Amino acid sequence: MEIRIFESKEAVAENFCTFLHNLIKKNGEVHIALSGGSTPKIVFNELASEYRDLIPWADVHLYWGDERCVPPTDAESNYRMTKEHLLDAIEIPEANVHRIKGEEEPEEEARRYASVLRQNVPLHGDLPQFDLVILGMGDDGHTASVFPHQIELWDSPNLCEVAVHPDSGQKRITLTGGVINQAGHVAFLVTGSNKSERLREILDKEGNYHQYPASLVAPDSGELLWFLDKAAASEIS
Ligand code: 6PG
């Protein structure tokens, strides 16, 4: 595990983009699962402005680690956020963008997306192996859309499950722990002081930290990187 701490969320985004660019140069064709949330939005803006002509987007295949069960035009849609902040600015083949169809019946979509992963992401054993899974962490310790009140979803034998947001009741499609921990690299992007207490519990392995799904991210590859700003990292020892 590697922890990288930066002055600001903008610096987190800049450094993560350098890491991503180097990974793409090293691996050639890459399969990446994207996260929703506010920190990735800054990353996408940086990629769209500084890396539009530097990254060979035809070699990049994009998926989502989770999606809200809403239409792709909905303000809540992770796909819509990615389209507005990245996809509309780069020349990436449509066939390389594998969105979760939030507008479909959730259980059916979870099954469909699992088959999309099996058909498109290179298999390692019987699991799709992403080159990179990008994750955020909620201040409740959730990651992707596995929330503490449904932590059992993490160990589902299915690649994807239907989750429910604990406050809004919104349904979501989420990747589960097996495929996330199969990835060649996992990168957490965590910023903001509202994450600092949870990060301390998880990174300092305090108390019942395994109640938080983010604590269960442990890629078999060992390549787990935390990109943090100082605000989020303010309480870790
Ligand atoms: C989502 C995300 C979610 C996010 C965390 C952190 O669909 O909302 O996938 O897991 O990563 O909630 O979000 P922030 O980066 O906005 O804090």
* DSSP labels, 150-197: GGGGGG-SSSEEEEE-TTT--EEEEE-HHHHTTSSEEEEEE-SGGGHH
Which sign does the torsion angle of CA 20, 21, 24, 26 carry? negative
- Is 73 near ligand 1, meaning CB less than 6 Å away? no
With CA atoms as reference, report the closest residue to 127 among 104, 100, 156: 156
- Is 39 near ligand 1, meaning CB less than 6 Å away? yes
pLDDT, one tens digit for every residue, the chain (237 residues): 999 999 999 999 999 999 999 999 999 999 999 999 889 999 999 999 999 999 999 999 999 999 999 999 999 999 999 999 999 999 999 999 999 999 999 999 999 999 999 999 999 999 999 999 999 999 999 999 999 999 999 999 999 999 999 999 999 999 999 999 999 999 999 999 999 999 999 999 999 999 999 999 999 998 999 999 999 999 998
Atom of ligand 1 nearest to the CA of 35: 9
Choosing from 99, 143, 202 the residue with most ligand 1 atoms within 8 A of its CB, the one to mutate for a pocket test is 143
8 Å CB contact between 71 and 103: yes
Q: How many CA atoms lie within 13 A of 66 on its CB side?
A: 30
According to the model, what pLDDT value does residue 222 have? 87
With CA atoms as reference, report the closest residue to 143 among 209, 93, 188, 81: 188
For the whole prediction, is pTM greater than 0.85?
A: yes
With CA atoms as reference, report the closest residue to 175 among 232, 98, 228: 98
SS3 assignment, position 73: coil
| Beta bridge partners of residue 228, listed in sequence order | 5, 190
Location of structure tokens 């989420």: 174
8 Å CB contact between 30 and 63: no
With CA atoms as reference, report the closest residue to 216 among 143, 131, 166: 143
- Is 78 near ligand 1, meaning CB less than 6 Å away? yes
The residue whose C-alpha atom lies closest to atom 13 belonging to ligand 1 is 37
228 token code pair: 């943090």
- Is 37 near ligand 1, meaning CB less than 6 Å away? yes
Atom of ligand 1 nearest to the CA of 39: 15
The terminus-to-terminus CA distance of the chain in angstroms comes to: 15
With CA atoms as reference, report the closest residue to 39 among 12, 3, 75: 12
| Beta bridge partners of residue 161, listed in sequence order | 174
CA distance 15 to 10: 9
Atom of ligand 1 nearest to the CA of 195: 17
* Beta-carbon count within 10 A of 90 CB: 15
